[in-house]
């Protein structure tokens, strides 16, 4: 019983991280109709910025309270700049080109991070106290608790932004119907930049929260990205709320499958993500909370 509860806790806290990556993917999908395969690398790069600012031996030794917000601001700017400089020239163009451009970004950002920072594995302190609470045989760390709280707050803020502010209205309008929005006086280009900036910042938050567990390295997000995609697929690619729920579901599936299905065991965890993506897309392509697009000639 304790073991089961421990697995549920493990799965949920991992799931929130997948959900955060998914949230970033969903924001970009909503604003540009694009699956951003470079999302994980943008988050990794921003986490390296935090590490560089904070590390005492190889960096500037700033407090995390400064380094983390600075890294998130950097991530926002990075997303906005990439949208303007790299994605915009191809906007409205052909999706194959855009797909390949994001893959190009993936390669370039990964190589540059290794070149500029390091290809070593580096440690980034947790923003929360180390250790955790133990009840019987079950342990929940402060990092796990903090991760869940931070991501819930971020999700609520995003919801508030989209539903309760004029900027949010503009973002939604620009994403849904760019040409009508332009007629209505909305600066669609600016909205796209903000959308990318937000997505990049959220991806960075997820990466900073996961860094104390997976450490900071150029391939820290490689495996996480697939789980993020799986979460986005489960939740529905146009639903921010669904992204978090999808993340938790994927985290639980992974944790329980590795604990109780001997064949899948721990050896085919990626295959579990693959199976989830495939099944959901086949049975319910819009995901749990998404809307099905209408086909037009």
Partner 1 sequence: MNTTTQRSIIRALPWTVGLVLLVGAPFVLGLTGIRGLMQVFVLAVAVMSLNLLTGFNGQPSIGHSAFIGLGAYATALAVQNYGWSYWSALPIAVLIAGVVGAVAGVPALRIRGMNLALVTMALALVFPQVPVRLTEWTGGTAGLTVDERLRAPAALGVADVAWQYWVLLGIAALAFLLIRNVVHSSMGRAMIAIRDQHVAAHTVGINVRAVKVTVFAGSAAIAGVAGWMFTVTNQFVSPGDFTVLVSINLLLGMAVGGSGTLVGPLMGALFLYYVPEVLPKLGVNPQLTPAVYGVLLILLAFFLPGGLSGGLRSLVRRLSGITAKKGVTTPQPTLDTT
Partner 2 sequence: MTSISRMRLFAAAALLSLGVTACGGSAALTGASGAQSSGSGDPALAECPDNGTVGLTDTTIKLGVSQPLSGPLVAVGGGFVVGMNAYFNYVNGNGGVKGPDGKQRKIELVAKDDQYVATKTKANVSALINEDKVFALLGLFGTSGNLAARPLLAQECVPSLFATSGAPELGNPDYPWGGPAGSISYLLEARASGEYLKSVNPNAKVAILYQDDDLGRAYLQGFKKGIEGSNISIVKTESFESTDPDVGNQITSLAATGADTFYDIAIGLQALQALNHVHASGWKPQIIQAAQVGLSLLKKLEPGAGDGLIMAGTSYDADDPDNADLPGIKLFLDWLKKTPGGEKILPSTATAGWTAAMFMTWAIENAETMDRAGVMRAAHNMDFTGPNFYLPGIKLVTGPDDHYLIEGVVQQKLDRKAGKLIPLGEVQDFNGANPYEKITG
Q: Are 231 and 246 in contact (CB under 8 A)?
A: yes
With CB under 5 to 8 Å by kind, the binding choice for 101 among partner 2, partner 1, none is partner 1
- Rounded CA-CA distance 211/207 in Å is 6
- The residue range among 97-105, 134-142, 150-158, 187-195 that interacts with partner 1, by the rule CB under 8 A, is 97-105
Rule CB under 8 A: which of 103-132 touch partner 1?
A: 103-112, 114-115, 119
- The residue range among 52-60, 188-196, 205-213, 275-283 that interacts with partner 1, by the rule CB under 8 A, is 275-283
Beta bridge partners of 141: 132
- Does residue number 165 form part of the binding site for partner 2 (CB under 8 A)? no
- Does residue number 217 form part of the binding site for partner 2 (CB under 8 A)? yes
Beta bridge partners of 132: 141
Enter the tokens of residue 8. 């549920």
Rule CB under 8 A: which of 222-281 touch partner 2?
A: 222-224, 227, 254-255, 258-259, 265-267, 269-270
- Rounded CA-CA distance 195/158 in Å is 11
Give the x-and-dash track for 134-153 against partner 2 (CB under 8 A): x--x-x-x------------
- In the complex with partner 2, the residue whose CB is nearer, 122 or 238, is 122
Instruction: State phi, psi for 78 to the nearest 5 degrees.
Output: -60, -45
Show contacts of 172-181: CB within 8 Å, 24+ apart.
Answer: 174/31, 175/30, 175/31, 175/32
Shortest spacing between CB 208 and partner 2, in angstroms: 15
With CB under 5 to 8 Å by kind, the binding choice for 224 among partner 1, partner 2, none is partner 2
Chain Cα centroid distance, residue 230: 11
Q: Are 98 and 34 in contact (CB under 8 A)?
A: yes
Longest dimension (CA), the chain: 62
- Does residue number 273 form part of the binding site for partner 1 (CB under 8 A)? yes
Rule CB under 8 A: which of 27-86 touch partner 1?
A: 34-35, 37, 86
- In the complex with partner 1, the residue whose CB is nearer, 92 or 131, is 92
């Amino acid at each position: 019983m304790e073991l089961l509860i421990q697995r549920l806790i493990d799965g949920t806290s991992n799931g929130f991280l997948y959900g955060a990556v998914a949230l970033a993917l969903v924001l970009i999908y909503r604003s540009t109709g694009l699956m951003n395969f470079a999302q994980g690398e943008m988050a990794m790069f921003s986490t390296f910025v935090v590490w560089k600012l904070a590390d005492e031996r190889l960096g500037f030794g700033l407090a995390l309270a400064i380094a983390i917000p600075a890294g998130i601001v950097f991530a926002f700017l990075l997303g906005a700049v990439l949208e303007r400089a790299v994605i915009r020239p191809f906007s409205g163009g052909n999706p194959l080109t855009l797909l390949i451009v994001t893959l190009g970004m993936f390669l370039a950002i990964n190589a540059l991070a290794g070149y500029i920072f390091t290809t070593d594995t580096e440690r980034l302190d947790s923003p929360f106290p180390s250790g955790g609470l133990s009840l019987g045989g079950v342990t929940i760390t402060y990092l796990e608790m903090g991760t869940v709280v931070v991501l819930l707050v971020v999700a609520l803020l995003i919801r508030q932004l989209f539903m309760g502010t004029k900027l949010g209205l503009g973002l939604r309008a620009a994403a849904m119907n760019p040409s009508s929005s332009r007629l209505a006086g909305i600066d669609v280009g600016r909205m796209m930049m903000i959308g990318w900036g937000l997505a990049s910042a959220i991806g960075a938050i997820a990466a900073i929260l996961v860094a104390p567990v997976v450490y900071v390295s150029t391939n820290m997000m490689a495996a996480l990205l697939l789980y993020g995609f799986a979460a986005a697929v489960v939740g529905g690619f146009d639903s921010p709320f669904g992204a978090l729920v999808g993340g938790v579901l994927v985290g639980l599936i992974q944790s329980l499958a590795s604990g109780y299905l001997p064949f899948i065991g721990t050896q085919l965890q990626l295959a579990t993500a693959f199976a989830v993506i495939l099944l959901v897309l086949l049975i319910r392509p819009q995901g749990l909370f998404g809307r099905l697009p209408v086909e037009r000639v």
